[in-house]
Structure formats: structure tokens, C-alpha cells
Structure 1
Amino acid sequence: MTNNHQFTQVIFEMLNKYFDKNAEDIFQNSPLLQYLNIKTKSANKGSKSRPSLGNHYALYVLVEDYINKGFYNQKNYEDYEGARFSDLLRRQRELPFGEKLQNHALNHRLNMEFTKYFPTLGQKPILRDLETSRYWINENLLIIKVAKVNYNIAIVIKEIIDAYVNARQQSFRDFMSYCDELLEIENKDNNEAVNFIKSLLRPNVDARVFEITSYGILKTFMENKNILGLFFRRAY
């Protein structure tokens, strides 16, 4: 299942870099890659996009732990004692926009959402031991078999999430730039100001910029209007 959007191209660029001609088959055989494709749609989505990074980062820190502990090149992950919850949560909060993340994605939210998209798969991304608070990434979802060859997608999963977060950071930088320009709008001539305001109402503009601009337009328009008068004139 491929629901193509702008960031899908980025995903396939990375898959092609690592897997060349097998990229498409690996994607089609990987529920985890397909899930990430769904979850990265908001990288270039419209102005009302408000993405959450909780599930991205739950997946990210477990894949990162898997790679850092050397299991990408080893075959004994089943013997691993598991990552500690406290370490995973701390790492999540070190990541961009992650400082306020809670435990929900690690404990159940990622698994629940993944199951919603793949209800018959019988696999969940996160495995955990409730008694020891130890966590594992489901390695069955990282090893993809194509033409009798096993491919490990751990590194590409991490890089896809990195690229997505970079896109969100760029969106935030654009937002700050727009805000700076809005503060200077009184210094622009009328045509320049109108064109700038129109540019802030494009479908792919950050939601916050869209809302601030819309509020400013409505406030200016309604400032000298008699709201009750308009209402009664329309009603009668």
C-alpha cells in the first residue's frame, strides 16, 4: 500500500541509496516503512497540519538503541536484556521538539496506531516486559526478505525519521521568519503588503502562520463593523 505524498520521494531516495533496485520490493514488503510513509505525510502538508512526534520518536529511540548496541550486524538480538524505559524516555526528550513527550507512545500508542493500519499482521513495533520495564524493537519488522535475501532496514528507518524532523524544523524556522516579516508589515507599501499577506494564505503555510494571518485579516475587517446591525439586517 503506497499512499504517495511529497515526502514519499524522500523515503524512496533513501531506500534507493541503500537497496538500489530492491527498494520498491522492500517498501512493499515492509509494514514499518509503509507506516512511516503515512506518518510523514505532514512534512509537506497543508496549513492545518499539526503533527505529533511521539510515535516517530518511540520508534526512533528503539531503532537507535538496536543500532548502537551493534545488533544491526549481529544475530543475537533475542538475547538482549532490553532497553530501559528511563533511558528511552530521556533520549526522546533530548530530540528536537521532544522535551515534553510522555510515556504514552512507548507504552501503547505506537502499537495501537500501527495495529489500526495493519490489523491482520499480528506484529507490533514495540515489545516490552512490564515487570522489568525493558523494551525492544520488533526485529521481525526490521528484517525484510526479498528474493530469498534478508535486508535490515533499521538504519534507513532512523534516517527517514531524521529527515522528517529536519523538515519540521525547517517549517518552524520558516514560521519564525514569517513572524518577523509580519512585525515589519507596516513598513511595506500597500501592494507589497497585500502580496505578502496573500503568500501567507497558501495551503502549505504553517498552521500557526495561517491562523495569525487569518485573525489579523478578520480583526481588521470587523474592527469598524456593527456586528449586531449586520446580524439583524440579514435576519430581517
Structure 2
Amino acid sequence: MTWDVFNIMGIAAFAISGAIVAMEEKYDILGALVLGFVTAFGGGIIRNLLIGLPVHMLWKQEALITTALIAIVLAYVSPDRWINNYKKWIDFFDAVGLSAFSIQGAFYAVQAHHPLVAVVSAAVLTGIGGGIIRDVLAGRKPLVFRGEIYAIWAMVIGLLIGLKVVQQGWELYALFVAIVVLRTMSFYFGWQLPLRGLAEEKKPSANIPAES
């Protein structure tokens, strides 16, 4: 029951974030629905393809699909001031979704007896895959590749579960809380990975000296 609550919170948060991005890009209601659903479920679909789970399992999650639909529609019709207030909390709920989905993805891979690299990949793709698809469809640079510490927390989850450091139920809950706290601290304090860009080359002058 507790994991169901986590999943619902994560699905709602990711769905609303997709809808908000759609509104920021001035998409219509169809665009909001598409971005909301791919943000909420895209990571799980990629994970299923990666570790061999049936993709059609998505269609059996009627409660989560309904949750995402309601969240998207409510976000789309909400006054701007409500959305601006929600944005203050979206990073926290996003941390909840990241932690819950990454643990879920890693656990599925372990149950399928996949190697460590597959467990870590399943954790990462489940946690961040939907956000990457959302940003690509919205024509934005994916947030997770711009220095912010985000995917690292999903990788930590995958390693701890894949190496069987965390196995018991209470350990999973403790890991969930720890990652939510760390992710919240990382955006609150502005923790970032090293970021490097290449300097632009100077183009040669187009001025051609006049002949004497």
C-alpha cells in the first residue's frame, strides 16, 4: 500500500510537470496530454523494453493512468497562480517520483536475475527516462544532462540494490527517504556535476584587402 501511494505521487508529479512544460511551450490540450503521459510512463516503458518485461503491462495500470489523466487536466485548467504555487513544490514531488520509480526499476531487474549493469540502467531509465522524452519532445535540452545532480541518485539506488546492500523492506523504505532528502538538498543548495563547454572558434574576417 505504501509503494502504491509513492507511485501515485510520482505519477501525478511527473504528469503535471509534463503538462506545465506543454503550457510553457504554448501547446494545446493534446500536447499537454502527450507530454504528461510520456513524462509519467515513458521511463517505465523504456525499462520494460530493456529488461524484457511486457510493454503491455502499462495498460493494466488503470488506476495510475486515471491518476495521470486527472492530474494533467487539472493542471491545464488551473489558474496561473495555482500553477506558480505548485512549481514551488514540484521539485520535492519530483524527488519522490525519482526515488520510488528508480527503486521499482532496480527491483524489477533484480527479480529478473539481470546483471548489475542492467539493474543500474533499469533504475536510471525508470527514474529519468520520462523527463528526457518530455524535454526532447518540447525541444529543450534535457535537464539531467546540464550539470544538475539528478541521474546520479538513480544510479546510487541501482548500485545499492544490484549489489544487494539493500534488500529488506525497511531498508528499501530507508533508501527511498534518503534519496528524497539528498535530491531535495541537491536542488536546494545547487549541487552540480562538473560542466565544461568548448569555446567558439573565431571565424576569419570576411574583409578582403582592396587591390591597389
Whether TM exceeds 0.5 here: the answer is no
Which structure has greater helix proportion?
2
TM-score with structure 2 length normalisation?
0.32
Which structure has greater strand proportion?
1
TM-score with structure 1 length normalisation?
0.29
